[in-house]
Structure 1
């Protein structure tokens, strides 16, 4: 596979799965001590990665769980944030300035802060009350968040299958390598067919809306300098559909939760207008070892693996490094 270091991928993903005992111990302690609300805070891609778990809580639990943008939280505040709040942060590098300021803000208001990162000596790891550390550069954070949210909902009697899911996630490194291998020819074909496209229209819904936002903004825009439109499949028919033309590249992210029908509806319409509709569907990947009832929860993780292969092939055919930036962490702002 193009620029895919399998031993490194396996090791990093295993380091996330290995956090299960620490995460469960932490969640159990917090539940036993009692807290009233949970904030899931990030910036850019790490903010988008919180949405599936806010979505999971919203449809499964009566507990107060919400995602927040780090910079906005600091300037706008949150009336519910206080001594009975728990706030979770994620940062690959542990150096995200907006998140650092948000941690300081939350701690000043008495909240208990948790950080997932790959660097134990990073500013974020040193600043939070509890740092849970993987190998460096481990991404995404879905495994850790599944453990955290799953355990929390389980303790509240709102997720009966958590232990079974957590046991199955022990094999997630191998499962995702299989996904990457299956996705490789699909990714290569998409990149070759779209090497000259400078605009893509992305659609997703449910627990894949966060990934849709992330891939549009953080990959295609930030890393490839491509113009995009991103729209939730439930909102597609309220304006954005007017942008479709016969040659518009439409990229659809299809998952396996209860919102699948909404994305099906958007896909059907898009294909009536555009001759260039690509669907990345998690149902196409076997996920050997994962029970059917959990497949939908893993959709963001599966699509991240699939589209990471697309990113590498776009980098190749467009001769545009995924590490190249003009402004992000280059200029002061």
Structure 2
């Protein structure tokens, strides 16, 4: 079944009594859920949403969790113990579970009422990747439970985003190469953005830089930058600023104005410049993170190449007991 059919079936089986949606995962899979959390917080009037790292979900189950809950669990390999345990816990509480994975033999499937085996890799269409599928699921859940006025605009955005990304990746390749050469010896980066994209500032920090490059990094919300973090700004510290198109753009532009005055090592990735403005205004903000993920992958690959540190290199993950 496709996303629409799956949500329709769940809605009928639950007699229309869907009161909350939980988004549960770890690491990069959790990052992929942030745009959906932002979307539901922004657009839902009644539908409650919660986003949890899987191990916390298992150890601190929300009391609302039950027969009126839909729990979406994502795990790339499908065998992450914490995510599998989260799906199992959700089913034990009577919730409906939707599992997303790239592995057709994943343990997660044993605790998923419905499964999406998503595409992955350079040749895949981003609308078939987990972030877009999860967002499509949450849009459908909102639309079927209480209606969503911009439903068709969102569908139009889904159809357009892959082409936008392919053009943008070619556009940023030269500047990503310059960035990598310029910052190859840096050991610390601060990543700023806002809105639906904030999860990807966090994700770029913990996954791309800390996990894959063994570099120190921290994410900072553009709106919070001026409430403490901006005191570390100097001319020696690198900042990466992702500027959204949509309602929170003003927050990012405020950060850019300050950084242009007081910092020197600033890399700006602007969704508007990269062509996202062809997506309807009423939904464009939800597609910023889909674009940004693909673009920062170009940056991290360029950095890995000049540092001679392959993205797959690990010293702890999957190698020691933890």
Instruction: Please state if 1:61 is matched with 2:44.
Output: yes
Match of 1:52 in 2: 35
Inter-partner Cα distance in structure 1 for 2:268 and 2:83: 34
Please, which of 3, 7, 10 is the counterpart of residue 30 of structure 1?
10
Match of 1:194 in 2: 183
Instruction: Please state if 1:328 is matched with 2:317.
Output: yes
Q: From the superposition, tell whether residues 117 and 109 of structure 1 become closer, same or farther in structure 2 (CA, over 3 Å).
A: same
Cα contact 2:245–2:277 (8 A) shared by 1? no
Pairs within 5 Å for 1:1-333:
22-32=2-12, 33=15, 34-62=17-45, 63-135=47-119, 140-287=129-276, 290-333=279-322
Inter-partner Cα distance in structure 2 for 1:103 and 1:67: 14
Cα contact 1:90–1:115 (8 A) shared by 2? yes
Provide Cα deviations, 1:238-278, integer angstroms capped at 9, x if missing partner.
22122222111011111123121112222222222211111
Q: From the superposition, tell whether residues 176 and 316 of structure 1 become closer, same or farther in structure 2 (CA, over 3 Å).
A: same
TM value normalised by structure 1: 0.88
Inter-partner Cα distance in structure 2 for 1:136 and 1:88: 19
Q: From the superposition, tell whether residues 261 and 169 of structure 1 become closer, same or farther in structure 2 (CA, over 3 Å).
A: same
Count, aligned residues = 313
Q: Which runs of 4+ in 1 moved over 6 A?
A: none
Residue ranges of structure 1 left out of the alignment (5+ in a row): 1-20
Q: From the superposition, tell whether residues 168 and 214 of structure 1 become closer, same or farther in structure 2 (CA, over 3 Å).
A: closer
Cα contact 1:120–1:126 (8 A) shared by 2? no
Aligned-partner SS, 1:284: coil
Q: From the superposition, tell whether residues 190 and 158 of structure 1 become closer, same or farther in structure 2 (CA, over 3 Å).
A: farther
Cα contact 1:120–1:131 (8 A) shared by 2? no
TM value normalised by structure 2: 0.91
Cα contact 2:206–2:218 (8 A) shared by 1? no
Inter-partner Cα distance in structure 2 for 1:141 and 1:55: 16
Provide Cα deviations, 1:281-307, integer angstroms capped at 9, x if missing partner.
111122586334432221001001111
Residue ranges of structure 2 left out of the alignment (5+ in a row): none
What value does the CA root-mean-square deviation take over the aligned residues? 1.9
Cα contact 2:223–2:251 (8 A) shared by 1? yes
Cα contact 2:212–2:314 (8 A) shared by 1? yes
Inter-partner Cα distance in structure 1 for 2:135 and 2:93: 27
